Amino acid sequence: MNSPPATGPAKIAVRSDRFHLWRSRKDRIASKIIGLGGLVVIAAVLLILFYLVYVVSPLFLPAKMSGSRLEGSSDWLNGATAFLSIEEQQQVAFRISQSGRAQFFNLDGLQLLETSEIGSGGQQPVTIAVGDQANSGLVAVAFEDGSVSLLQNHYNTDFSAGVAQRKVIPTLDYPYGSEQRVLMPGGGITGLVLSDSESALVLAAAGNGGQVQLEWNLKQENFLSGEIELESSVKTLQVSFEITAIAISSDHRWLYLGDDSGQVHFIDTNTMLEMQVSRVSESGISSMSMLLGGISVLAGDTEGNITQLFPVRDEDNNYSLEIIRRFEGHQAAVVRIIPEQRRKGFLTLDADGSLNVYHSTAGRTILEQKLDGGLPSALALAPRASGLLALYADGRADFMDIHNEHPEVSFASLWSKVWYENYSQPEYIWQSSASSNEFEPKFSLTPLAFGTLKAALYAMLFALPLALMGAAYTAYFMSPALRRMVKPVIEIMAALPTVILGFLAGLWFAPFLEENLAGVLALVLVLPVGLLLFAWVWTHGPQRIKNYVSEGWEPILLLPVLVALVLLSIQVIGPLQDLFFEGDLRSWLSREAGISFDQRNALVVGCAMGFAVIPTIFSIAEDAIYGVPKSLSDGSLALGATPWQSLIKVILPTASPGMFSAVMIGLGRAVGETMIVLMATGNTPIMDWNLFEGMRTLAANIAVEMPESAMNSSHYRILFLAALVLFMFTFVVNTVAELIRQHLREKYSSL
Amino acid sequence: MPGQVENSGTNPGLAISTRKLNLWYGTFQALFDIDLDIKQGLITSMIGPSGCGKSTFLRTVNRINERMDYVRINGTVNVMGENIFGTDVEMLQVRKQVGMVFQRPNPLPISIRKNILFGHTIHTGGSANKSEQDEIVESALKQVLLWDKVKDKLDHKATTLSLEEQQKLCIARLLPVKPSVLLMDEPCSALDPKGTEAVEELLWDLRGKYTILIVTHNMAQARRASEECIFMLMGKVIEHRETGAMFLTPHNTETTNYIEGRYG
């Protein structure tokens, strides 16, 4: 840096080039860093979006099935197969041949492990063998003479050689004795079902000529020896049609018979009387099966359609069989329906050898594939529904890997009304888990989205008038000294942790509201009327008193008035109102007006969330109104407009872009608010606009259920989908708001 | 006429008449004992250096000063013979009589038509029907010599006009209210010479029907465009005479000094 010359008039000191270079370099570096910062923010938001989509997308990917032949010597696979099953680890399979042999074999290499004879020395051929509907491993084998043997296969896993070398050790036993039971004297069993529950063991057989035999074994625990004893009874039924399929509900109450004209007969096992006949198709029923849980019955017909039905109870406790949904996709008769053991899905096989995978709740056809080897003679689905073993008549064995992770999710199951089991009509329900494995998960996002909107709406109803009118007064009418105190205080309110607000709302305000419902509701009337009355009295009051208060400081006067009105409403008018409503407003509401009351309800949430949202809206709106050039206000006043007229006709329209922005930001905040809703509502996912009922929002739902959901399960991914829905909603609302704001800005720009 | 105070000197020929007018902004006194009589129908200009109280006086006459709670006023001000600080006087009526034009044109961010009708609608409650409204708009715009330029774009936003046209619009929107006094706070300082000339011509046209009080920093403008002139300094009125006479032969030395540009 050169120093200025010592003589002569003052000259402009010239800095060196190096200094200028350094300055401009600093400038460029700064602008690049700031630009980079902006890009990083955009990148972060995009990354969030991509991660959400990454976690959600497997929900909508199609299922895959790929098969391969099992190599090995299968000389022992002679003869037809009556029964086939695979165990959990998909290593060992169990087969009963038509000649009466029970065989265990390794899938790897088709290596035979064990074989034994069942029944009376294998003289009679097996006509039909079925597994227990409840998947206990119990198998009922029916012989030509109409007798039935009950045997059970189970497996032990030996990890002594390490996990990778686990060995599965099969065993076969006869838990109910090895003698054969006579089920249908005279033989001719064409259909058989076995259902073993905790209270009873039931065998139902359909025979030629419309005969039905039901063997009912009540289980009783011998309290001396601890053994289970069976008390048997037999019920019979003779029907006039040809029975093509038979199924029984898991509570053993309903027996279903399919006939060859396409009807399902609904029979009450207590009376053995036919209660109803449902026509499900014009062609005959070719197979029937119960779904997991034993509530729904699936009936497949010879046209290739499958119908799901279950009994529905009405108000008088009468049951009727309702047709719930239909599934299409087969061109030939449905010969076999296999329900999944742990989900409400099922597989079907038709006479052409096409295998379809469906899911009942979602109403989805997941997979349609023609099997390479044609129509298999026996099929077994692994317990995890990820593997399928097919045996063919020529001794070939194929194993199919099924990749079907999220069958219960479809757009319809997420957003439309679904008819769930045991409900009398289709409903929007969110109930993600229950205590048993047989539970039908109900993943409708509609109640959650509705709850989000309901909470946001009531919060905005409470917050908008207060925040906007407060902002208009503070910016335009309030004295600057008072405004300097008020504005920072309200902005500090924004920093209040919402957990505290939720806590106060749920634990103090909700009970208080319940106790003083009449008083609090009366406040809605008392406050505005009282304040306006005071304002009128003040303006018409004596000038002497008014001189004590400078212009713009009047709000201070309102503070004691506000407290007095609140006390008046709660302590005086509240009890008075109870007199009118027979002592209890709440029960009066539910009796006369049909409005139910929940302690943690939308009114509590509206007030608490409104309280959280008011500082945000106030701050931005107040800045917008304060920023309107004073010259506009002066011009309007000079023309003779009153301050109120100037506010409404000139100031607020000019500030409308900023005010609109404030409202949209407040709305975005209200929609995403989690803690307040979590603590102050009942978290009940109902769809009701009732002010006195709770709700469950998308955000609160995620907070409550995420810690408890299994990673990468359907439930987990659906929670991420809820987050994605919230994200998109906020994004769309903000974009629309910004567009409207730009339009307003151009319309009302005053420069 | 109601609301008179005895010592106001109610001469019907006076548009504005003040006696012992004092004004404080907080503790700072801006006006000292102002006694002024401004004649009806004339263009009177107020000149003086910055901070001498000209704008303050102007804003007192239509009571737009009082928005802030730290303004204190003593004394009397009569407009068209009526005390504007009387207890039963409505602010609305004061502002009906007295219109104001500001330094920077401030058309409302609405259409030209709506700007003109704004004041009128406020005072009549919007009772005029469409043809009456059209007449009002046309007559006001014709008076400010703006009709031919904007008659085809009455629904355009007022802010799309040039600055000079905006200022004329601001004058035009006062007219439907039929004030008797027009207060102008440096109306031409934001305009170029051509615009200034146009506005000065307009003012010359409007005198007689309206009393015009114009505050200006531009002595040449005061000289060419006003009939009487007031010189203020430090919150006091120094001289108030016919313009030509004051500029030729000022009575006070301060006036002389100011006119000759010794200080500004």
User: What is the set of domains in chain A, with CATH numbers?
Assistant: 71-238+379-403 (no CATH), 446-716 (1.10.3720)
* Residues A264, A243: Cα–Cα separation, whole Å: 10
What mean pLDDT do residues B45-51 have?
89
Expressed in percent and rounded to 5, the helix, strand and coil fractions of chain B are 40, 25, 35
Sheet holding A397-403, edge to edge: A64-69, A397-403, A387-391, A378-381
pLDDT bucket at A4, cuts 50 / 70 / 90: low
pLDDT recorded at residue B111: 87
Q: Dig out the tokens for A268 from the structure.
A: 């009450």
d(CA B162, CA A372): 83
Residue B133 has pLDDT above 90, yes or no: no
Distances (CA, A) of A181 to A124, A178, A580: 14, 9, 73
Beta bridge partners of A299: A288, A307
pLDDT at A13 over 70: no
CB contact under 8 A, A751 and B159: yes
Q: Establish how many alpha carbons lie within 13 A of residue A3's alpha carbon, considering only the half-sphere containing its beta carbon.
A: 3
pLDDT of residue A119: 67
The two beta strands, B98-101 and B181-185, are: parallel
pLDDT score at A464: 95
Q: Is the pLDDT of residue A436 over 60?
A: yes
Helix (H, G, I), strand (E, B) or coil at A223: coil
Contacts of A8 (CB under 8 A, 6+ apart): none
How far apart are the C-alpha atoms of A229 and A176, rounded to whole Å?
9
Pick the range with the lowest mean pLDDT from A60-64, A164-168, A386-390, A704-708: A164-168
Report the chain B residue with the minimal C-alpha distance to residue A639. Answer: B119
Sequence-ordered list of residues with C-beta below 8 angstroms from that of A203, at least 6 positions apart, any chain: A140, A148, A181, A183, A192, A193, A194, A214, A215, A217
pLDDT for residue A750: 62
Task: State how far the alpha carbon of A553 is from the alpha carbons of A474, A478, A485, A621, in Å.
Answer: 11, 7, 12, 21
Q: What percent of chain A has pLDDT over 70?
A: 97
Contacts of B92 in chain A (CB under 8 A): 640, 642
Question: How far apart, in whole angstroms, are the C-alpha atoms of residue B50 and residue A293?
Answer: 93
Contacts (Cβ under 8 Å, ≥6 apart) of A225: none
User: What is the reported pLDDT for A6?
Assistant: 56
For this complex, say whether ipTM is above 0.90.
Answer: no
pLDDT at B5 over 50: no
pTM of the predicted model, to two decimals?
0.83
Q: What percent of chain B has pLDDT over 90?
A: 15
Which range has the worst mean pLDDT, A215-229, A423-437, A576-590, A677-691? A576-590
Number of CB pairs < 8 Å for A and B? 72
pLDDT(B3) > 60: no
Mean pLDDT of B53-72: 82
Q: Cβ contacts (< 8 Å) between B62 and chain A: which residues?
A: 638
pLDDT band at A69 (very low <50, low <70, confident <90, very high): confident
CA distance B170 to chain A (A): 9
pLDDT at A458: 93
Residue of A nearest to B97 (CA): A640
Residue of A258, A280, A256, A279 whose CA lies nearest to A268: A256
Closest CA to A365 of A374, A377, A356: A356
Task: Judge whether A139 and A154 are in contact, CB under 8 Å.
Answer: no
Q: What is the mean pLDDT of chain A?
A: 87
Evaluate whether A302 touches A284 at the Cβ level (below 8 Å). Answer: yes
Give pLDDT, residue A49: 94
pLDDT (mean) for A479-493:
90
Judged by DSSP in three states, A379 sits in strand
Q: Print the SS3 string covering A397-460.
A: EEEEEEECCCCCCCHHHHHCCECCCCCCCCECCEECCCCCCCCCCEECCHHHHHHHHHHHHHHH
List pLDDT tens digits, range A513-558. Answer: 888 888 888 888 889 999 999 989 888 888 777 777 777 788 888 8
For residue B22, pLDDT beyond 80: yes
Cβ of A654 under 8 Å from any chain B Cβ?
Answer: yes
**Nearest-CA distance A664 → chain B (Å):** 24
Q: Which residue of B has its CA nearest to A637?
A: B64
Residue of B nearest to A543 (CA): B87
Q: Phi-psi bin for A153: left (phi > 0), alpha (psi -120 to 50), beta?
A: beta
Please name which of A425, A421, A426 lies closest in space to residue A446, comparing C-alpha atoms. Answer: A426
Is A258 within 8 Å of A288 (Cβ atoms)? yes
> Chain B closest CA to A655's CA: distance in Å?
11
B163 at interface of A, judged by CB pairs closer than 8 A: no
Written as one letter, the residue type at A443 is F
For residue A479, the chain B residues in CB contact (below 8 A) are 69
Contact A405, A397 (CB under 8 A): no
pLDDT score for A19: 86
Chain A contact set for B90 (CB, 8 A): none
Q: Average pLDDT for residues B95-116, to the nearest whole number?
A: 88
pLDDT tens digits, B188-206 = 888 888 888 888 888 888 8
For A214, A242, A326, A531, the CA distances from A259, given in Å and listed in that order, are 18, 6, 18, 77
pLDDT at residue A128 tops 70: yes
Task: Tell me, yes or no, if B204 comes closer than 8 A to chain A by beta carbon.
Answer: no
pLDDT above 80 (res A79): no
Please, which pLDDT band fits residue B7 given cuts at 50, 70 and 90? Answer: very low
A644 contact B CB<8A: no
Query: In 3-state terms, what secondary structure has residue A746?
Result: helix
Contact B108, B118 (CB under 8 A): yes
Nearest chain A residue to B91, by CA: A640
Two tokens, residue B258:
């100011």
Question: b/e string for A422-443 if b means 16 or more Cβ within 10 A?
Answer: ebeeeebbbebeeeeebebbbb
Give the tens place of pLDDT for each residue, A33-44. 999 999 999 999
pLDDT tens digits, residue range A586-628?
777 877 777 888 888 899 999 999 999 999 999 999 999 999 9
A195-225 pLDDT, tens per residue? 988 888 899 999 888 889 888 888 888 777 7
Please determine, for residue B1, whether its predicted confidence score (pLDDT) is greater than 60: no
CB contact under 8 A, B106 and A751: no
Quick check: B69 and A638 CB within 8 A?
A: no
